[in-house]
Amino acid sequence: MKSFDAIVIGGGQAGPFLAARMVEKGMKVALIERKFLGGTCVNAGCMPTKTLIASARAAHVARSGAVYGVNIPGEIAIDMKVVRARAEAVTMNARNGLIGWFAGMDGMTVIYGHARFEDPKTVSVNGETLTAPRIFLNVGARPVIPDLPGINDIDYLTSTSIIHLDTLPRHLAVIGGSYIGLEFAQMYRRFGAEVSVIEHGPKLASREDEDISDAIADVLRSEGIDIHTGVSDIAFARSSDGITVATDSARIDASHVLIATGRKPNTDDLGLDAAGVITDKHGYITVDDKLATNVEGIWALGDCNGHGAFTHTSYNDFEIAAANLLDGDDRNLSSRIPAYALYIDPPLGRVGMTEKQARASGRKIMISTRPMSRVGRANERGETKGFMKVIADAETKKILGAAILGIEGDEVIHGIIDAMNAGTTYPALQWSVPIHPTVSELIPTLLGDLKPV
């Protein structure tokens, strides 16, 4: 049996950085990764998909050049092999950077293999047994494949496998109208494929307020994406030239099907029962406000604990654990203000409560909205789709939440994220003096238009 000061299972965006901090403190650490260092973000999420989105936007801008007085003769052609190679290069550069970083650390042992608990202090991997007083789980999540008629008879794609395509689908059917599915839908439409989005719920991006969801649908429809919501029945069958997707309201002749119906944690084969670690009904590991599980000496970080499925929340889990365990600090998971983005174009930046959540909270609230068509920067760039929205507490004057669906919305939202984290009231932020001409300069104006509801 090999002994360590700590064992980290999973090489995503929390565990490896925590392992590095522990090594800096002179600890002996084992980092066990089943497949690739970097987790979903580096290998199948943020980095490759946003690289693909950048290629898709380049195609869109090239096709739109005439509007700006830039005429490009001939058809805009897409070389999917180059598109794929570019995304793969970005992934490999990041992955190899992590490999090189850890290889240079004395006290760090990187093991590739499938780890399983033998007891609360012991794990087995590749026929070896390892023990440590502290074990951290950062095992991530994977795509959910729903049990739909005919799904096992077709060759479907997931968010992991689709990034390796080096040919252009004739018609891509996206099953699931949430964040991952919508990003791929617009991306492949801009590459030149016909695209249909099929969503069981009554609207796209169901987490959002109805006005945001409607605006997202308008953006996608304006680019020629076929959207079907409220679909109760979906079935698949092979056809002579692809896949038939039959719903209760439509029949789609697709060449490729992307299943984008959510993700589930990679916790079902870790031997958690042997360690006594509790999970909820969805398989997420139950943690307290310090990210500790019910078993002393075991923590769960990142997607597998159900408290955010983003790179930034996973990294913040690392920050919380490192601060509490290594720096003598007292940081809590509950103090984190939720924020995220949807990377369609224009992007959606979101922080805090939706309007629906704010109304349900019983607070006296104020709301302000402003169309992007009234933002100078958006008009100058010729990108006026979407709108801004902010919700505030009428009594405390604190900002409760905001949504910016529009040009650079994923960046502009950070002004509000920072204000909320600092506890700044909206009247104080209203008196800031932002730079002109920017999208952010409209934030004080947006706040000045807050009205009680």
Give the catalytic positions in this structure. Answer: 436
Question: What's the Rg (C-alpha) of the chain?
Answer: 24
- How distant, in Å, are the alpha carbons of 133, 302, 321 from that of 330? 21, 19, 9
The count of other CB atoms within 10 Å of the CB of residue 335 is 10
CA atoms within 13 A on the CB side of 224: 12
How far apart CA 299 and CA 425 sit, in angstroms, is: 35
Q: Hey, is 48 helix, strand or coil?
A: helix
How far apart CA 13 and CA 139 sit, in angstroms, is: 10
Q: Tokens in use for 234?
A: 């979906």
C-beta of residue 346 within 8 angstroms of C-beta of residue 406: yes
Q: Tokens in use for 104?
A: 């240079």
How far apart CA 153 and CA 134 sit, in angstroms, is: 45
* Pairing mode of beta strands 122-125, 256-259: unpaired
Q: Hey, is 367 helix, strand or coil?
A: strand
232, 184, 258, 89: CA torsion to nearest 10: -160
Write the CB contacts of 230 (distance below 8 Å, at least 6 apart in sequence).
Answer: 199, 200, 201, 202
For CA atoms 447, 448, 449, 451, the dihedral sign is: positive
For CA atoms 309, 213, 178, 413, the dihedral sign is: negative
